[in-house]
Structure 1
Amino acid sequence: MLPCREDVLFYTNQLVNITSIVNTEGEKEISQVLHTLISSFPYFKENPSHIIRQQTVNDEQERYNVLAFVKGTKGQSNKTVILMGHMDTVGIDDFNQLQDVACDPEELHKALESEDLPSLVEEQLQSGDYHFGRGVLDMKSGLASHLYLLKYYSQHPEELEGNLLVVLECDEEDGSRGILSALKDLKSLREEHGFEYVAAINADFVSPRYEGDENRYIYKGTVGKLLPSFFITGAETHVGSCFEGLDPNFIVAELTRQINYNPDLCNEAFGETTVPPVSLKQTDLKPSYTVQTALSAYVYFNFFIHSWSPRDVLSKLKDQAEIAFENALNLYKERYKAFSKASSQPYVDIPWKTRVMTYEELDQLLNTEHGSAYEDHMKEFKEELLLDESLDTRMFAVRVVEEAWKWMTDKDPAIIVFYSSLYSPRIEVSGKNDLEKNLIDSLEKGVESVQPHYPHPIVTKNFFPYISDMSFVALSDDDAGIKAVTDNNPSWGTKHYANYDDIREINVPVINIGPYGFDAHKQYERMEKSYSLEIVPNLTNAVIKNLLG
């Protein structure tokens, strides 16, 4: 076991002290600090070309990744292990009156001693084995572990049979522009130095999966994430004549009821199951108050996948939307009939039918009907829409669908299903090829070697359950799955673009060995020192040696 605890803690504190909130100047600052720190290691003074500060591409922000590598001198192997992790954090607003010390673990610890804390937080604060602060768990202690190993092997390249490449990326907490940009350098470094990428090891945080869970988890592969979105049109009417129209909010409410928390939309693979989808935004698209019902509404959902492709998800959600639409119309009829009876007014059969289509189907229909006039108009519309910097990719996408809908000849109520944000691909590491088999075997041997040094079980599972940049170093989807993303995202190629071919070119199996703790993204974010500062670096090192040896 390497005596790494104090060094990793020192690096952790250095990094946490930098307020590197995503989409702020802090991201730029931390990349400069990391570049300066690594450049001060004697190895990198002698090999300055082995460290790169790379500016992200296709990014509104000025920010940078830091890549550094050590070439081992034990043998002639080109095998290369990638260590990866992000240096940005979420914000600190949740710290409330403690914002001033949110990024100072020592001062925060003192301040928390006089706070009224939940019992578990109080117990762990007093134990002395937990470290508090924004980013301490997610994931600067993981970065610190990587830094320690990078420095160690820069001092002992004779112990390294192969190469170690560290990728410290920005923008993980928002659009993953950091890792998507880093793929270009990973490719060029491979070509220039002959690197043979055999595995990637991420160091994002791990937490208990349920109350009382004592396991510390290692993950092979990762969950995928989609943002399926729905544009819903109704039939506008004055609220005084409400049954002469159809409120899209009524349909969207039924749609949310149908999809939210629905266990039928959990994806099981290898005995592990995703959490069900949950809505992240629901709104109508009326710009201001009027006494007429809205013309349209919008809702989008978080959707995790293990084995389903983006095309599978579109198909399943189209089915769910049809069920919801039919349920909404049936309930509408039931209430309309009850009102007609109560008010002694005649009931008139409603003219609307269930109608659901994907954005791809809508776009193809309008192209067939209107040809180049439609295509040219939408291209110009998107270019103009890009000038509105207030729109994120999700609102940009729905504005495109809203504009396309204006070209419809038949404007009867409908639901349009599409994607409106980055697809974070799912990754399976199941032993389907030699690289995966070697990584799994190396991990199993590594766990076996360090488990005697730690009292709690170290358990391996198949899918990292949170969104991370692990998704962008390998691709389990085929071309049809990716095409479902590109053809059904209205902002694709304008407001939003990701080069999935770059991912496929790297395509290296990835695992996560990260710090353990509680409340990432919350006020009491904290990591357990023993596991995070000692076991994580040593387990990572064991896997590296097993892979390269």
Structure 2
Amino acid sequence: MLFCREEVLRLTDDLVKVESVVNTTGEIDIAKSLHDLLASFPYFQQNPSHLIMPRTVNDEYERYNVLAFVKGTKEQSDKTVILMGHIDTVGIEDYSHLKDKACFPGELMEALQDELLPELVKEQLHSGEWHFGRGVLDMKSGVASHIYLLKYYSLHPEELAGNLVLLAECDEEVSSQGVLSALKDLKRWREEHHFDYIALINSDFVAPRFEGDENRYIYKGTIGKLLPSFFITGAETHVGSSFEGLDPNFLAAELTRQISYNPDLCDESLGEIPAPPVSLKQTDLKPSYTVQTALASYVYYNFFIQSWSPKDVLVMLKEQAEIAFTNALRTLQERYRKYCERIGEPSRDLPWKTRVIIYEDMKKMLVEENGEAYVQHMKEFKDKLLLDKSLDTRMFAARVVEEEWNWMKDKSPAIILFYSSLYSPRIELTGKNEREQNLLNALEQAVEQVQPHYQHPIVTRNFFPYICDMSCVALSDDEEGILAVAENNPGWGTKHYVDYQDIRDINVPAINIGPYGYDAHKKYERMELQYSTEIVPTITNEVIRRLLG
């Protein structure tokens, strides 16, 4: 299997040359291209029902997944391993004048020879051991590795005691619509073919964790991701009388200072620590310029978790918001006092009080205060808001909270805490049951088998450190944790909905064995050829053989 380099590289280039930027028609093109490729294999010509290209469900975009399976004939077994990888990419605008070459690695690498490059990029480009282009690392080379293995076993089903499923999904880069839709196909196949899903191997990219890091990582499970969001109301005033009001942007700034990059908000688990929260958006909601301070501001943060539940995070961030609110008011009072001293006028105690409300508590309060009139109004408001296609789930949620705030009797300044986007669940792989232990044993033995053939250390870790679709194939949260997501997302059931029961129904142990490289989502995206086209498919194959041999 170590001699698969040329075919995996050719498959990679065939996938890369189809520009498949997420949320564009390129996602249709890549699915059709991959489907046609698999349909050309003799196995799928003889078994056409083993290959499908279903459209995603409840999706505002037209796009498709590709699923295929090979049934082993070595002995009768329902055991099934899923090979998963996404076929969409981020955009190519960052390539600027080289944009027309971004999806053609040969042309791109030739053009890069004439560019002024960072030293490491130039060194790797000239080495001949690295491959450049949009999607080569994230993650079409990983999909190519899976296709290579699927093709091999389609020609040699007698070597499989069980079944091999390929899931090539769309929309990993934005909303995970692909994998969430594919869960229903996987469930249907389980019923029709009695598949027992014992393991899933994802092939998303891996990268150095720090400068000088020589390790190539394999991940057992993945971090989870939340998007805690804050609607912040103030008290408007004319800028000439600034201390007579409370600027919500002032509160937002202090909130970001309290939360962003805060290592105390990192969820340590199994000896590993994810990246801290960071702001992804901070804005006020004024539609145009005036000399009045803003009525409200909006900010949201990326938040990684490994053991905490969505409910834990709400409790934690309510406390952080209260600290920020109190600090902001203290600073404001002090600045007001100093200002009054300078202009020779008496100061007074400013009237504002710390006030932080979790969304579901506000919603209950509004129902109690306003009854059916509020409920019906908000239903009609959301239905109308859905017609505005310019609003993503995050801004949709903000507009819903803004409208609900209008119904509050007490409109003194406040911070409302909620979730406004997809919750990607965390996955822990600890050996807590037989399926997990079998997968962990197979992975350990596979690495031991392959390590002597490769010069750099191959190291396993517990949590894939980026966001990936592994989050959508297993669930570590209990019902209370998932309920906290549903009850605290203002767009839940309208603009946004996830059937987490589908994930719980599949609940397959997952690992990530993916290509190695640098600069995913950047213009110098590149993969190391030996590891990505030889070691990745070889380790993956060794795991498959130990599980289905």
Instruction: Write the deviation string for residues 412-458 of structure 1: whole angstroms up to 9, x where unpaired.
Output: 00000000000010000011111111110000000001111100000
Aligned partner of residue 122 in structure 2, secondary structure: helix
1:400 to partner: Cα distance: 0.4
Structure 2 counterpart of 1:193: 193
Aligned partner of residue 268 in structure 1, secondary structure: coil
1:399 aligns with 2:399: yes
What letter is aligned with 2:37?
A: L
1:508 to partner: Cα distance: 0.2
Tell me which stretches of 4 or more aligned residues in structure 1 moved more than 6 Å. none
Structure 1 counterpart of 2:389: 389
1:352 aligns with 2:352: yes
C-alpha separation in 1, matches of 2:150 and 2:197: 17
Aligned length in residues: 549
C-alpha separation in 1, matches of 2:71 and 2:242: 72
1:471 aligns with 2:466: no
What letter is aligned with 1:96?
A: S
Structure 1 counterpart of 2:32: 32
Aligned partner of residue 530 in structure 1, secondary structure: helix
Structure 1 counterpart of 2:274: 274
Structure 2 counterpart of 1:528: 528
After TM superposition, the structure 1 = structure 2 runs for residues 337-486 of structure 1, keeping only pairs within 5 Å, are 337-486=337-486
After TM superposition, the structure 1 = structure 2 runs for residues 24-423 of structure 1, keeping only pairs within 5 Å, are 24-423=24-423
Unaligned runs of 5+ residues in structure 2 are none
C-alpha separation in 1, matches of 2:122 and 2:483: 50
C-alpha separation in 1, matches of 2:477 and 2:62: 31
C-alpha separation in 2, matches of 1:289 and 1:485: 35
Instruction: Write the deviation string for residues 53-85 of structure 1: whole angstroms up to 9, x where unpaired.
Output: 010001111110000000000001110000000
Structure 1 counterpart of 2:514: 514
1:348 to partner: Cα distance: 2.2
Instruction: Write the deviation string for residues 263-283 of structure 1: whole angstroms up to 9, x where unpaired.
Output: 110110011001110001000
Instruction: Write the deviation string for residues 187-234 of structure 1: whole angstroms up to 9, x where unpaired.
Output: 000000000000000000000000000000000000100000000000
Aligned partner of residue 272 in structure 1, secondary structure: coil
What letter is aligned with 1:217?
A: Y
C-alpha separation in 1, matches of 2:3 and 2:339: 76
1:2 to partner: Cα distance: 4.6
Cα contact 2:72–2:159 (8 A) shared by 1: yes
What letter is aligned with 2:277?
A: P
C-alpha separation in 2, matches of 1:469 and 1:134: 19
Aligned partner of residue 366 in structure 2, secondary structure: helix
C-alpha separation in 2, matches of 1:526 and 1:34: 22
Aligned partner of residue 62 in structure 2, secondary structure: coil
C-alpha separation in 2, matches of 1:284 and 1:44: 55
Cα contact 2:2–2:535 (8 A) shared by 1: no
1:519 to partner: Cα distance: 0.4
1:468 to partner: Cα distance: 0.6
1:349 to partner: Cα distance: 1.7
Structure 1 counterpart of 2:490: 490
What letter is aligned with 1:259?
A: I
Deviates more, 1:183-192 or 1:350-359: 350-359
1:248 to partner: Cα distance: 0.5
1:347 to partner: Cα distance: 1.4
Aligned partner of residue 205 in structure 2, secondary structure: coil
TM-score by length of 2: 0.99
What letter is aligned with 2:351?
A: P
C-alpha separation in 2, matches of 1:248 and 1:109: 49
Instruction: Write the deviation string for residues 28-51 of structure 1: whole angstroms up to 9, x where unpaired.
Output: 001001111001100000000000
Aligned partner of residue 164 in structure 2, secondary structure: strand
Unaligned runs of 5+ residues in structure 1 are none
What letter is aligned with 1:520?
A: A
Aligned partner of residue 290 in structure 2, secondary structure: coil
What letter is aligned with 2:323?
A: I
Instruction: Write the deviation string for residues 110-156 of structure 1: whole angstroms up to 9, x where unpaired.
Output: 00111111000000011100000000000000000000000000000
C-alpha separation in 1, matches of 2:67 and 2:2: 24
1:538 aligns with 2:544: no
1:3 to partner: Cα distance: 2.4
C-alpha separation in 2, matches of 1:412 and 1:260: 26
Cα contact 2:220–2:464 (8 A) shared by 1: yes
1:530 to partner: Cα distance: 0.3
Cα contact 2:280–2:302 (8 A) shared by 1: yes
What is the percent sequence identity of the aligned residues?
Answer: 70
TM-score by length of 1: 0.99
1:342 to partner: Cα distance: 1.2
1:345 to partner: Cα distance: 1.8
